[in-house]
Chains A and B, each alone.
Chain A
Amino acid sequence: MMILVYGGSGSGKSAFAEKKITELNKSGIPLYYLATMQVYDAEDEERIKRHRMQRAGKGFTTIEQPKDLGNIALELREAKSDILLECMSNVVANEMFSDAISDPSIYDKKVSEEKSFDKYEGVFNKIKDEIIKLKDSCNNLIIVSNNVFEDGNIYDDETMKYIKTLGDINVFLAEISDEVWEVVAGIPVRIK
């Protein structure tokens, strides 16, 4: 069983996804939380703290996996565990930008280079392959993803490519999911 949980900031999508995976999880099946956020400042720490408190006592083992989901798929293959991956918006950002953030000189070099959309296709294909591996290697998989598509703003090229890539990934995730839920003001609305 694979489920996509989708929603905006502060929509309550995490709480719903946690409830859903704990309901699906049968005793004896390991339950993993794949945390994808890279910590840069106190605000990130605060957010992570809030999420940890929300998960406390629900039986999750947390694995930090900001990118390269394929690696974790290999490790988890034998166990056939249940997995909650949160959040795809971080994975896409980390795959596209994380080396840039950790080393600003690389970022400067990158943005000064003339780039095609190919790199983003590369990221799209990489994540797609890795998700398929992850799906095949586990029992139940719930992926949380973010709605970043409706503020109507035009951003710089890099951000627009990020939005496009995440959008493409979300479409792919919805296609291969058994259920898709959109969470609005904490209320889950099933859209597939």
Chain B
Amino acid sequence: MILVIGGYAQGKLEYVKEKYQTGGDDIFDFEVEDIAELERYSDGLFSDRQIILNNINSLIKKELDDGKDPEELLGNILSKFNNVIIITDEVGNGIVPIDKNERIYREKTGRFQCMLAQNADEVIRVTCGVGQRIK
């Protein structure tokens, strides 16, 4: 698993497409798609096929809104895909929000990203479209 992390609009997806020479077919974007669609898609999938999960932070937000614990996601994702690139927004670098749910989202996303990074073979941080391998 490869984790790509960086701020909003930093060119993470473009970086991944160029570096890993992937088209649009295997990109799953959680800003517009949900976990059920991913599950349907992955059922018929050859497990070694490369897949890109974009905006995993949006999925975490949805899971939290549904009252679920996003940490369970990790096991699901890791068990289903051998060859996955996960792209996530860095969301913790700001003033702590007044709204409690916003605070929980930031904190949980940060912790989730730490777990992803721990399990990743490679972690790349993208700033201004430039990737820096940090693991």
Interface residues of A (CB under 8 A from B): 7-12, 43, 147-153, 155, 159, 163, 184-187, 189
B90 and A8 form a contact (CB under 8 A): yes
Contact of A151 among B94, B118, B123 (CB under 8 A): B94
Known: A8-B90, A10-B106, A10-B108. A185 touches B116 (CB 8 A): yes
Residues in chain A near residue B125, CB distance under 8 A: 184, 189
Residues in chain A near residue B85, CB distance under 8 A: none
A11 and B117 form a contact (CB under 8 A): no
B94 and A11 form a contact (CB under 8 A): no
B110 and A11 form a contact (CB under 8 A): yes
**Nearest CB in chain B to that of A89: its residue:** B96
Instruction: Determine if B93 is an interface residue (Cβ-Cβ < 8 Å).
Output: yes
A9 and B92 form a contact (CB under 8 A): yes
Contact of B110 among A10, A43, A148, A151 (CB under 8 A): A10
B92 and A147 form a contact (CB under 8 A): yes
Q: List 29 A-B contacts (CB under 8 A).
A: A8-B94, A8-B110, A9-B92, A9-B93, A9-B96, A10-B106, A10-B107, A10-B108, A10-B109, A10-B113, A11-B92, A12-B110, A147-B92, A147-B93, A148-B93, A148-B94, A148-B95, A149-B94, A150-B90, A152-B94, A184-B117, A185-B3, A185-B5, A185-B117, A186-B114, A186-B118, A187-B123, A189-B132, A189-B134
